[in-house]
Amino acid sequence: MCSQENNQSAFDASFGRRSVSQLYLQRLRCRKPPAADARPRVLINTVPKAGTYLAALALENAGYSSKDLHLYDKHLHDNRSVPKDQIHWDSGSRQVNYRAEYAASFLGEGEFCVGHLSRQRTLTRVEAYNVHVLNIVRDPITRLWSAFKFQRAKVKPTPYSQLWRTMAPDDDFKGFLLLRSKFQLKHSETLMSSGPFFCFEDLKQGKFIERALDPSIIKHRSAAMAQQRAQVIRDVEAGLAEALGKKTATYVPTSESGRAPILEDSAVTAFFDECGLTAASEFYRTNVLSDKTIVPR
């Protein structure tokens, strides 16, 4: 049996094999409005390198329990029993083909998981199980720089990444960029157009501010769900007080301040212009990180 099949079997054994009818009944129960005193179920859903595990630590500080699952639209990484500082080193070895909404449907009260869901229909299905999806986005250029540092420090090298890792400083970042075929711009657009979202830049200041490009797209929620969501936001913000600057699964300490000089290199900025990153960054800073996008609590 291959490694992935072993992982699938272990995942099934831990969660328990359920018949189709049992799964159906479980999901029906999840779709009922939560009790007024029920602790929220939460999915921290981010564009990669937008504060996923910072928000997770804030929730843990507030008394929530992590399922230690990292969700994608059609698969997940099972990080249970894995040391937090190692969960990204060889995450593919723990990949299980399991739809995000199915995994999220088994969250208990006061439990959460993290993920990088990018499809609107998947987000809608997850929310149907009374799971509060906290979408978090970030300036696309600084996100790329953070991804570069993260890959270099936290992820097992591949034959491709091993090449740019051997390059001189600054050249290594350019080599990293040339291997990127996607920049998560569509991912960010989906998260910002599906309803309220949050910004990494606020998170880093100890604030968890709910924003929306167009307040009219905010979906109607039941009174209980609206009350729970307000509680989750308060809890994350309270937990941030102890989380900022603390070690997480992805945090890479750095002495750099401000914008990295390589991001102003003429060849790099020309590359950003051509790929649409410059325009996306300007839109983000001008139209997203502004008071007019804040949703009143």
Q: Report pLDDT digits (tens) over 227-246.
A: 999 999 999 999 999 999 88
What is the reported pTM? 0.89
In the prediction, which pLDDT does 205 show? 93
Nearest to 288 by CA among 184, 233, 186, 211: 211
Class level of CATH domain 3-16+35-293: alpha beta
Instruction: Calculate helix-pair angle for 52-61, 223-243, nearest 10 degrees.
Output: 100
Q: How far is CA 216 from the centre of its chain?
A: 24
Judge whether residue 134 has pLDDT over 70.
yes
In the prediction, which pLDDT does 1 show? 43
Please report where in the chains the tokens 């999840």 appear, as a residue. 30
Q: Report pLDDT digits (tens) over 249-271.
A: 777 666 555 678 999 999 999 99
Q: Report pLDDT digits (tens) over 188-208.
A: 999 999 889 999 999 999 999
